[in-house]
Amino acid sequence: MANKEYKSDVFSMLLQDKKRAMEIYNAINGTDYDDPELVEMTTLDDKSFSLTVRNDASFILDANLSLYEHQSTYCPNMPLRDLLYFASIIQKRIKAQKRDIYGGRILKIPVPHFVVFYNGKEDAPDQYDLRLSDAFEKETEDPEIELVCHVYNINSRKIPHCCQNARHCVNICILWIWCGKIMKSVEIWKMPLRKLSTSVWKKMCLGIFWLNTGRR
């Protein structure tokens, strides 16, 4: 089990809860929604999709489509990946709602917002943006299509201000940091994961249980 796999699995698992998704949405956008039933989950799980999407978490709230991703390694291709995620989500919605894309009426779609929570080993600013236009083979001053992905560095002592109001978001940050320290120790001692003591695995499971239930 790779380091980045369990972190993203925890992220994806927790963000499937509508209340937690709403809390993080409120923290990032400065809103105060209090009804989790307003959240519509749109996380991609199509195994036939050409890219790995199981780490993706997305939902719609107040006509805004939020696509959240966790990354433990720097990935400059996130805008391109988000473009494909967004197109796939919209395609599924149009098909499910049996809407006519060739008709004479404009089809309204949710407003997309792209966010990445980064906690890799490489140094990074507290917050920065990645743009789809940076991937264009030819530089253009006025791209006719653009996608901006907001990246937040959630490493120790760098939890972004917008996330500090979201209890679960901070808890996720703490779990990632704590698990990262365990993995660093494992790497130092060249210890196979299967030989980790039962107590270590128990603590990791309890950490996930605590985040998932709010109980200690």
Q: Is 30 left (phi over 0), alpha (psi -120 to 50) or beta?
A: left
User: Which pair of structure tokens corresponds to residue 207?
Assistant: 């950490």
Cβ neighbours around 175 below 10 Å, total: 20
Q: Can you say how many angstroms the Cα of residue 144 is from the centroid of all Cα atoms in its chain?
A: 26
pLDDT at 189 over 70: no
CB 214 within 8 A of CB 167: no
pLDDT at 86 over 90: yes
pLDDT at 209 over 60: no
pLDDT at 164 over 60: yes
pLDDT at 70 over 80: yes
Average pLDDT over residues 106-113: 96
Give the CB-side neighbour count of residue 108, counting CA atoms within 13 A: 3
- Can you give the pTM of this predicted structure? 0.77
